[in-house]
C-alpha cells in the first residue's frame, strides 16, 4: 500500500504573547524554542515561564532535525490522508507536528526527519517535518532506532 502526501489546507494560527517569537521566527524560516534562564532546560509548547521550575525563559534557534517518536496516518478525518507525529528534536524536547512530502506508509518510529514549512490558510508558515533521505546510505543507516546487531546487509 502506498499513501503519497497531498497538500492540504492547514488552519490559521493564533498568535499571542507567549507564541509571538515562535511565529515571527517561522516567517523567517527558523524554528525557535524557549529555554529556561534558571534550569537551562528547553521545552515545548511556548509559554511565558518554565514548566519545570517556573523560571523566566529566553528563546533560541534549534536545529530542526530529530526523530519520529510516534506517528499515525489519518485517512478518514478529511479529504486527504495526512501524518501526525510526535518528533523529538536533537535538542531533546518533543513536539506534535505533521510529516509531509513523502509516502506516508513508509514512516517509522525512529526515522530521522528535518524541518520544513507549509503555509497555513492565512499564509503563516507552519513548521512541519519531512524524512531525511540519504540516498548513498545503506538501508539500516536511515533508521535511527536500529542497533548494530540489526543491520541489514
* Domains in the chain with CATH codes: 20-138 (2.40.50.840)
Averaged pLDDT for residues 87-110: 96
Can you spell out the DSSP letters for the chain?
Answer: ---B----PBPPP---TTTHHHHHHHHTT--EEEEETTT--B-SS--SS-TTT---EEEEE---EEEEEEEEEESSSSSS-EEEEEEEETTS-EEEEEE-SSBGGG--TTBEEEEEEEEBTTSPEEEEEEE---TTS-GGGGBTT--GGG---
Asked whether the predicted pLDDT for residue 53 surpasses 90, the reply is yes
Closest by CA to 114, choosing from 62, 153, 51, is 62
pLDDT of residue 125: 96
pLDDT of residue 79: 85
Averaged pLDDT for residues 54-79: 93
pLDDT of residue 135: 58
Name the percent of the chain lying above pLDDT 70.
87
Asked whether the predicted pLDDT for residue 44 surpasses 80, the reply is yes
CA distance linking residue 94 with residue 111, whole number of Å: 14
**133 band by pLDDT with thresholds 50, 70 and 90:** confident
Amino acid at each position: 500500500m502506498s499513501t503519497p502526501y497531498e497538500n492540504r489546507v492547514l488552519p490559521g494560527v493564533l498568535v499571542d504573547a507567549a507564541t509571538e517569537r515562535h511565529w515571527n521566527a517561522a516567517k523567517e524560516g527558523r524554528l525557535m524554542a524557549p529555554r529556561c534562564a534558571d534550569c537551562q532546560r528547553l521545552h515545548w509548547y511556548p509559554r511565558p515561564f518554565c514548566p519545570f521550575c517556573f523560571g523566566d525563559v529566553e528563546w533560541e534557534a534549534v536545529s530542526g532535525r530529530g526523530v519520529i517518536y510516534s506517528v499515525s496516518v489519518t485517512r478518514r478525518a478529511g479529504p486527504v490522508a495526512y501524518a501526525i507525529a510526535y518528533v523529538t528534536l536533537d535538542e531533546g524536547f518533543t513536539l506534535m507536528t505533521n510529516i509531509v512530502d513523502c509516502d506516508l506508509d513508509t514512516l517509522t518510529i525512529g526515522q530521522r526527519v528535518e524541518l520544513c514549512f507549509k503555509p497555513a490558510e492565512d499564509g503563516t508558515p507552519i513548521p512541519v517535518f519531512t524524512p531525511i533521505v540519504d540516498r548513498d546510505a545503506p538501508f539500516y543507516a536511515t533508521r535511527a532506532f536500529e542497533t548494530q546487531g540489526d543491520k541489514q546487509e
